[in-house]
Amino acid sequence: MQSEHRLRSRIRALSDGAATGLAVLSTLLVVAPLVAIFVYLIYRGASSISLAFFTDVPKPVGEPGGGMANAILGSAILLGVGSLIGVPIGISGGIFLAEFGRGTKLANAIRFTADVLNGVPSIVMGIAVYSLIVVPQGHFSAFSGGVALGIMMIPTVCRTTEEMLLMVPNAVREAALALGVPNWRSVLAITVKTASPGIITGCMLAFARVAGETAPLIFTAFGNVGWSARLDEPISALPLQIYVYALSPYDEWHRLAWAGSLVLIVLIVLAVSLVRYVTSRGVLKGAS
Amino acid sequence: MVAQAEDSAIRKYLLARGNSAVADRGFHWLMVLSALSIFGIVVLIASEMLVRSQLAWSKFGFNFFFKAFIDPYSKLPMYWDPVNGHFSALPFLYGTLVSSFLALLLAVPLAIGVAVFLTEMCPGALRAPLAFITELLAAIPSVIYGLWAVFILVPLLRERLNPFFIKTLGWTGFFGDDNPTGLGFVAAGIILAIMILPIISSLTREVMTAVPISQREAVLALGATRWEMIRMGVLRNARIGIVGAIILGLGRALGETMAVTMVIGNSPEIHRSLLANGSSMASVIANEFAEASGDLHLSALMEIGLALFAVTIVVNAFARLLVWAVTRGAPRQVH
């Protein structure tokens, strides 16, 4: 009896230790690929990056040098158009969810749809925008790429805006209304302003997410080997260029792909760290 | 007295703003409209893709997803033959399912392990940096995962792991040695696993933190070890939410495009071997859409896109409901 009891506690202690060990092991296994990706990216990227990367357009195959200046400009333009579409609509949607529709069926349905839309593959956005804009226009364009990115930003911006506005205490709203401020003004100048650091980080999160998107751009922005700043022409983008170069057989282009990835990842890590910094002082949920 | 009131800033302001009812109503409707645009987007995407896939739908019907054209001479199935106009989504459905299933197989135990470690075991000082690292994993763009996979993972598989798999597990038939490139379902599954890990583990963590402390204390008070407390007190209460997190990860994996396109090998065939080249629904669209060879080809690709859209919507909606059931509802009871 005594020994059986002792055996059982031994087994229990052992399984406890095993579970702890497995949890630690799996954490290590998850951290390992990240570290591997980062170290290798920095190693390859840093050794390939140069001033020319930021100033030159791609050179024809076989010629050394060249850069991705046009892709960087293209990404900036695409993200600019995307933000112009995604940020106002997203924020307004968030304002509706938090200020007007709280608890109504409509708001719940919209919140749910936004979450679901967040999970729609970006390639689907790409072909939808292709058939919406590219087919009627008859050519690939920077505008259509921007629209695709903008649509992808809306759900993220909308949901984070809502979460942020919900954290603004009701007393602030009541104080504004008690002073006779009209509701629209109270929402914009008081509530939204109070929550603005959080809303801005939400926008940056959405921005960082779409900055690395390639799939929706293949059939909309299409890519361009030269300079282009026109909205009605195909335009290059950093992730698109990385994709094309990664699958090419030339070492010189692989080098550029690594350098481009480094630039992209630095941009994204900066944005995410900023989000992390701001949210560590508040709460920013639902923005996975 | 009256004059004084009229001079005050607030009074002036109130007079200057005029009747706010119109502005208020306008503002309200503007916000409603923006929110409704989210519905609009979903409807627009669906209707646009429905219209553009009509051609393939009317030609192949439901058989598009179930049957393939059998070549009368060689007796071999011709799944995807743009030259002769034979299209079937079968190999892409297969590729998507196999790569996503492999990814879940690898990612789920790891993700739950990480979540358990972070919520229940981790020393406080380590928690924030580790959570940050898993968050960073989620923020890396797909194309960079693909780049890494092409230059590190695929060579590694080609040189070391695949020969090992073939030698030890070749007898099962799942690890054939007819593809020397290192590309294929296994490569796609591994990179997908790395990509969906963060979302599964962060949601699992969220669900586990939603389990009330009192549940843990109650189990501990009965003399349970830490693992028994986690198993009975936490995991058991959070299981519905964890299933939701896994399904959400599945939704991600189903639609993941760039990284998969770069490593899956892109051949529209069905092989039993996991080391063979394949193609997924998303990857065939990424590869062929821009240079589709005709209306029927384009339409068939649209139909695959529509199917992907429908499947991911259903999967995501289901998963969200499960996660909500746990994190929003009242604390559940131990059975």
How far is residue A48's CA from residue A40's CA, in Å, rounded to a whole number? 12
- Answer whether B257's CB lies under 8 Å from A219's CB: no
Residue B210: CATH number of its domain: 1.10.3720.10
Task: Give exposure, B263-288, as e/b (b: 16+ Cβ within 10 Å).
Answer: bbbbbbbbbebbbbbbbbbbbbbbbb
Q: Select from A164, A182, A170, A172 the least CA-distant residue to A97.
A: A164
From chain B, pick out residues whose CB is under 8 angstroms from the CB of A123: 255, 257, 282, 285-286, 305, 308
- Answer whether A162's CB lies under 8 Å from A111's CB: yes
Q: How far is A152 from chain B (nearest CA, A)?
A: 10
Question: Which of these CATH numbers, 3.60.20.10, 1.10.3720.10, 3.40.50.1820, 3.40.50.1100, describes A52-280?
Answer: 1.10.3720.10
Does A122 contact chain B (CB < 8 Å)?
A: yes
Range of lowest pLDDT (B13-22, B138-147, B203-212, B270-279): B13-22
From chain A, pick out residues whose CB is under 8 angstroms from the CB of B111: 26, 30
Q: Is B82 part of a structural domain of the chain?
A: no
pLDDT at position B263 over 70: yes
- Which of B28, B132, B202 has the CB atom closest to A100's CB atom? B28
pLDDT at position A285 is 38
**For residues B76-87, average pLDDT:** 82
CB-CB under 8 Å, A254 with B138: no
**pTM for the model:** 0.88
pLDDT at position B160 is 87
Q: How far is B114 from chain A (nearest CA, A)?
A: 5
* Residue from A124, A181, A242 whose CB has the most chain B CBs within 10 Å, to mutate: A124
A143 sits in the region (left: phi over 0; alpha: psi -120 to 50; else beta) called alpha
Share of chain B above pLDDT 70, in %: 92
Name B12's Cβ contacts closer than 8 Å, sequence gap at least 6. B6
Q: Is B168 part of a structural domain of the chain?
A: yes
Q: Do B118 and B261 reside in the same domain of the chain?
A: yes
CB-CB under 8 Å, B36 with A120: no
Does A124 contact chain B (CB < 8 Å)?
A: yes
- Specify the higher pLDDT residue, B323 or B3: B323
- Which of B14, B34, B197 has the CB atom closest to A89's CB atom? B34
Does A272 contact chain B (CB < 8 Å)?
A: yes
Q: Do B45 and B114 reside in the same domain of the chain?
A: no
Q: Do B103 and B221 reside in the same domain of the chain?
A: yes
Its sign, for the CA torsion B134, B140, B144, B145, is positive
Q: Do B155 and B218 reside in the same domain of the chain?
A: yes
pLDDT at position B264 is 92
CA A120-A283-B327 angle, 5° bins: 60
- Answer whether B144's CB lies under 8 Å from A212's CB: yes
- Name the pairing type of β-strands B86-87 and B80-81: antiparallel
Spell out the alpha helix ranges (H) of chain B.
2-7, 9-17, 21-52, 54-60, 63-66, 90-116, 124-139, 142-148, 154-156, 162-169, 185-210, 213-221, 226-228, 236-255, 258-263, 281-288, 295-327
Q: Is B261 part of a structural domain of the chain?
A: yes
pLDDT at position B331 is 46
- Which of A20, A101, A106 has the CB atom closest to B121's CB atom? A20
Does B309 contact chain A (CB < 8 Å)?
A: yes
From chain A, pick out residues whose CB is under 8 angstroms from the CB of B20: 182-185
From chain A, pick out residues whose CB is under 8 angstroms from the CB of B110: 26, 29-30
Q: Do B158 and B243 reside in the same domain of the chain?
A: yes
CA A77-B255-B173 angle, 5° bins: 140
- Which of B30, B44, B133 has the CB atom closest to A31's CB atom? B133
- Answer whether A67's CB lies under 8 Å from A58's CB: yes
Structure tokens at A245: 């170069």
pLDDT at position A154 is 95
Name the A residues in 58-87 with CB < 8 Å from any B CB: none
pLDDT tens-digit map of B223-250: 888 999 999 889 988 888 899 899 999 9
- Which of B20, B32, B144 has the CB atom closest to A96's CB atom? B32
pLDDT at position A180 is 79
Q: Is B17 part of a structural domain of the chain?
A: no
Q: Is B298 part of a structural domain of the chain?
A: yes
Does A2 contact chain B (CB < 8 Å)?
A: no
CB-CB under 8 Å, A25 with B113: yes
Does A217 contact chain B (CB < 8 Å)?
A: no
Q: Do B150 and B271 reside in the same domain of the chain?
A: yes
Those residues of chain A that have pLDDT short of 50 are: 283-288
- One-letter amino acid of A34: L
- Which of A23, A184, A264 has the CB atom closest to B117's CB atom? A23
User: CB atoms < 10 A from the CB of A53, how many?
Assistant: 22
Helix axes B236-255, A122-129, angle to 10 degrees: 40
- Answer whether A213's CB lies under 8 Å from A149's CB: yes
Give me the number of domains chain B comprises: 2
- Answer whether B259's CB lies under 8 Å from B142's CB: yes
Instruction: Tell me how far CA of residue A284 lies from CA of A98, A152, A195, B201, in angstroms.
Output: 14, 19, 11, 17
CB-CB under 8 Å, A123 with B113: no
Q: Is B316 part of a structural domain of the chain?
A: yes
How far is residue B300's CA from residue B297's CA, in Å, rounded to a whole number? 5
pLDDT at position B272 is 84
How does DSSP classify residue A222?
B
How far is residue B50's CA from residue A38's CA, in Å, rounded to a whole number? 41
CA A11-A13-A15 angle, 5° bins: 65
- Which of A30, A37, A127 has the CB atom closest to B305's CB atom? A127
How far is residue B99's CA from residue B253's CA, in Å, rounded to a whole number? 8
How far is residue A152's CA from residue A128's CA, in Å, rounded to a whole number? 12
Q: Give the rounded distance of the alpha carbon of A282 from its chain centre.
A: 20
Name B116's Cβ contacts closer than 8 Å, sequence gap at least 6. A19, A23, B208, B230, B234, B235
Q: Which domain holds residue B144?
A: 90-327
Q: How far is A89 from chain B (nearest CA, A)?
A: 5
Q: Is B111 part of a structural domain of the chain?
A: yes
CB-CB under 8 Å, B49 with A128: yes
Please give the ipTM for the structure prediction.
0.87
Does B17 contact chain A (CB < 8 Å)?
A: yes
Q: Do B143 and B236 reside in the same domain of the chain?
A: yes
User: By CA distance, what is A126's nearest residue in B?
Assistant: B286
Q: Is B219 part of a structural domain of the chain?
A: yes
- Which of A128, A276, A288 has the CB atom closest to B203's CB atom? A288
- Answer whether B45's CB lies under 8 Å from A128's CB: yes
CB-CB under 8 Å, B285 with A123: yes
Q: Select from B303, B268, B308, B263 the least CA-distant residue to B284.
A: B268
pLDDT tens-digit map of B276-315: 899 999 999 999 988 887 889 999 999 999 999 999 999 9
CB-CB under 8 Å, A218 with B290: yes
pLDDT at position B334 is 37
